[in-house]
Structure 1
Amino acid sequence: MSGAGTETPVGCEAAPGGSGGKKRDSLGTASSAHLIIKDLGEIQSRLLDHRPVIQGETRYFVKEFEEKRGLREMRVLENLKNMIRETNEHTVPECRDAMESSLKDVLQRLQAANDSVRRLQEKEQERRKMYNDHLVASEKQHQLQWEELMREEPHRRAAVDEEHRRAVERLREQYAEMEKDLSKFATF
């Protein structure tokens, strides 16, 4: 079982009639014990030491796993490559064409909206200018009316004061007459 020299099967003796049989017998005990121990070590390592088997199985599992995984990843990468090619060849140009046609329409609408807004702003500015001009003219007219009122105010005040003085005078005369009339009745 070991690969060193001639092997004698365990539990078997050397073949009789061979040359040097005596020499073997005298050395055979030591040599056979050595061979038996060696064979026992090999048997023990094969029965109890599972590291080589486990390492072999582990290598086999890893190899199989990597092959399957590699094939799966290759399929995924191939699918991605096909999808990217299809996107580049078909989808992107279609999107670009749709975008360009839509953008032209959007730009035209935007230009029209800008023109409308500009016209509205111009109208609003004109309306504000007219309103401000009207407001300024109205303010000037009110100022002139106020100045005229302030010029006429002393004359009107004098007229009202004169009218009030006359009314007070009339009331005095009327009360004086009423007192005279009452004094006539007071003699009763």
Structure 2
Amino acid sequence: MSGGGTETPVACDAAQGGKKRDSLGTPGAAHLIIKDLGEIHSRLLDHRPVTQGEIRYFVKEFEEKRGLRELRVLKNLENTIQETNECLLPKCRETMECGLGETLQRLQAANDSICRLQQREQERKKVINDYLTASEKRRLVQWEEFVSGQPQRRAEVDEEHRRAVERLREQYAAMEKDLAKFSTF
């Protein structure tokens, strides 16, 4: 292999028909080396076949266990539904029917009470509105009487004021006369 010469044929090569084995420097030899390395690599480092077998086994086990677990869950669910249909549903229906009649009676009584209260409130509002309307009409009549009587009252007050002013003038005139009598002294 060293020395750059050609290799001598090996006995098995001679048995193959005298075909010479490729030397390391030729392209065919590199191909054989790569092929050998690939086989070594696949045997030592490539664990895909083993891994795939393990994965298949794991999936099979998982599906079997999962199938059994789901079967148990479905059985439990079926038992629960059956128990509900046979025991709980009739009890609930019976309780509802008993309580529903009583509840309906209470609701009807409450509804009647509320209707009476609303009717009383409406009647009270109507009475108050009627009273307010009547009071407003009375006050309007009183106001009109007051306004229509104002000119007459004003005339009376003006006349009374004029008389009072006249009386005061006469009184002051008399007082001035009396004062004039005394001032001559």
Please classify the TM superposition score into its range, dividing by the shorter chain length: 0.5 to 0.7
Which amino acid in 1 is paired with 2:72?
R
- Pick from 100, 103, 106 the counterpart of residue 103 of structure 1: 100
Give the C-alpha shift of residue 155 in structure 1: 2.6
- State how 1:1-188 maps to structure 2 within 5 Å: 48=44, 50-183=47-180
TM-score normalised by length of structure 2: 0.64
Give the C-alpha shift of residue 164 in structure 1: 0.9
Over 3 Å counting, the alpha-carbon distance change for 1:86 and 1:184 in structure 2 is: farther
Which amino acid in 2 is paired with 1:133?
D
Secondary structure of the corresponding residue to residue 106 of structure 1: helix
Structure 2 stretches lacking a partner, 5+ long? 1-14, 17-39
Give the C-alpha shift of residue 133 in structure 1: 2.3
Which amino acid in 2 is paired with 1:99?
M
Give the C-alpha shift of residue 53 in structure 1: 3.1
Matched residues, percent identical?
68
Report the aligned-residue RMSD. 3.1
Deviating 4+ runs (over 4 angstroms): 44-47, 181-188
Give distance in 2, aligned partners of 1:91 and 1:185: 127
Give distance in 2, aligned partners of 1:144 and 1:61: 106
More displaced stretch, 62-71 vs 45-54? 45-54
Listed one character per residue, the Cα deviations across residues 128-181 of structure 1 (whole Å, up to 9, x for unaligned) are: 222222223222322332333334333322221111111111222233334445
TM-score normalised by length of structure 1: 0.63
Give distance in 2, aligned partners of 1:147 and 1:56: 115
Which amino acid in 1 is paired with 2:169?
R
Give distance in 2, aligned partners of 1:61 and 1:78: 25
How many correspondences in the alignment?
150
Structure 1 stretches lacking a partner, 5+ long? 1-28, 31-43
Give distance in 1, aligned partners of 2:167 and 2:140: 39
Higher relative contact order (CA 8 A, sep 6+): 1
Over 3 Å counting, the alpha-carbon distance change for 1:58 and 1:162 in structure 2 is: same
Hey, what does 1:35 align to over in structure 2? Answer: none
Which amino acid in 1 is paired with 2:127?
M
